[in-house]
Structure formats: structure tokens, C-alpha cells
Chain A
Amino acid sequence: DVKVTQSSRYLVKRTGEKVFLECVQDMDHENMFWYRQDPGLGLRLIYFSYDVKMKEKGDIPEGYSVSREKKERFSLILESASTNQTSMYLCASSLPTGGLLSGNTIYFGEGSWLTVV
């Protein structure tokens, strides 16, 4: 069974702290994603990685960075947490489509609820 595991389900951090959200997938997927989800705003893409050490900014990268040193692991980093980063964060992974008509499926983790106080 495919699995995307987010290391922490619930976190409470203080303003100004450096925060690491870890995500591991066991499907050998090239693509990995970090989203945040807020009421009324849907899912917004923060960063996307299509290979080890490769990354692209999503729609809301400000205040975040990412690290992908190994294929299975994709970390989201909040350099200096702020209260407006209180949210649920979702990690996901997928295969690249490579032109296949079958397309791809994105697999999501269970989410990490981050509260910054």
C-alpha cells in the first residue's frame, strides 16, 4: 500500500522559531509537493520538487524553504515562524506523467496542523 508519512500531526511553535515539517514517501516518486490549506482558501501550493535537490516555487513560497536531499524525503522549513503561518500543511507525491495518457495520481499525507503562538 502506498504511503506518504508526515512526521508530526500536531505542532505548537513560538513566533520566531525555526520549524521543520518532514515528509517521507515509500513509492519511489519523483514529484513531491507541499501545500497549505486554510478555510475558504483551499489548497495552495508552497513548493514542488521534481527530483533530488530540484525545486520550484509554488503560489505562496514566501516565508518558506524546502530541502530534498534524498528522493523519499521532502522537508518544509519555516525559517522564522509567524502567526500567519498557522495552518494545516499537506505533503504529497506523484510519478511524473512522461506523456502517459494514464496520467498520474497524487498521494497525500494525513496533514500536519501547525499552530504558531
Chain B
Amino acid sequence: SQQGEEDPQALSIQEGENATMNCSYKTSINNLQWYRQNSGRGLVHLILIRSNEREKHSGRLRVTLDTSKKSSSLLITASRAADTASYFCAPYLFGNEKLTFGTGTRLTIIP
């Protein structure tokens, strides 16, 4: 199975600032997905970026993908208290259905 590694492990910022977290992976991919997990809850899908895309936006989220460096980043702009959560990346390769996850980035937004 393939797995992404998120960095940093933890991040604390003031409300209104931008938050950036990174993901590295080791194998070829067809797409990469980002998920959010609020404390004690299940994961929720945020955004998917395909291997032939370099950047994608969704609301306050911006995801970039650099397949040559096998890395992705998730930017949350104008952060809010409700963005406090853990964020996970999931690199995906067709034919490998067993999606696995790393330890995530724990984001804390300070009011």
C-alpha cells in the first residue's frame, strides 16, 4: 500500500492567517486527495487533484501537486476557528484500492 506523509505534524496559527501543510509520497500516482478530521470524528473528503493537474482551488482551499518531487501542499486561506482539525493526504494509484493514511497535520486556529 502507498501512504502519504504530512508535514508538519502540528501547526498553530492566529485566526485570519493562512495555513500551509505539505504531503510527500513515494510512488507514482493518478490522483491525490486531502481529507479533514474534526476531533473524534470520521474523515471528510476535501479536494482531489489529478496527476495531470498542478493546482486546484475550492473555496478557501488551494492544492498544488508536483509529481516530479512527489509532493503536494494544501493552503487554507483566511483561517477560521472551524478549520481546527487534522488534515490527511492520500496518494492514489489505480489498481491499488487499499488507500492508507499517515499521521496527519494537526492544525489549531487560535482565536
Question: Could you list which residues of chain A lie within 8 angstroms of chain B, going by C-beta atoms?
Answer: 4, 31, 33, 35, 40-45, 48, 50, 56, 58-59, 88, 90, 92, 94, 96-97, 99, 101-111, 113
Contacts and interface: CB of A to CB of B under 8 A. Distances in A.
Nearest to B45: A105
Contacts, number: 77
Contacts of A94: 97, 99
From DSSP, what is the main secondary structure of chain B's interface residues? loop
A111 B30 contact: no
A97 B97 contact: yes
A94 B98 CA distance: 10
A48 B98 contact: yes
A29 B98 CA distance: 14
B78 interface: no
A106 B45 contact: yes
Contacts of A45: 1, 98-100
A40 B10 CA distance: 11
Given A59-B1, A105-B33, A105-B48, A90 B42 contact: yes
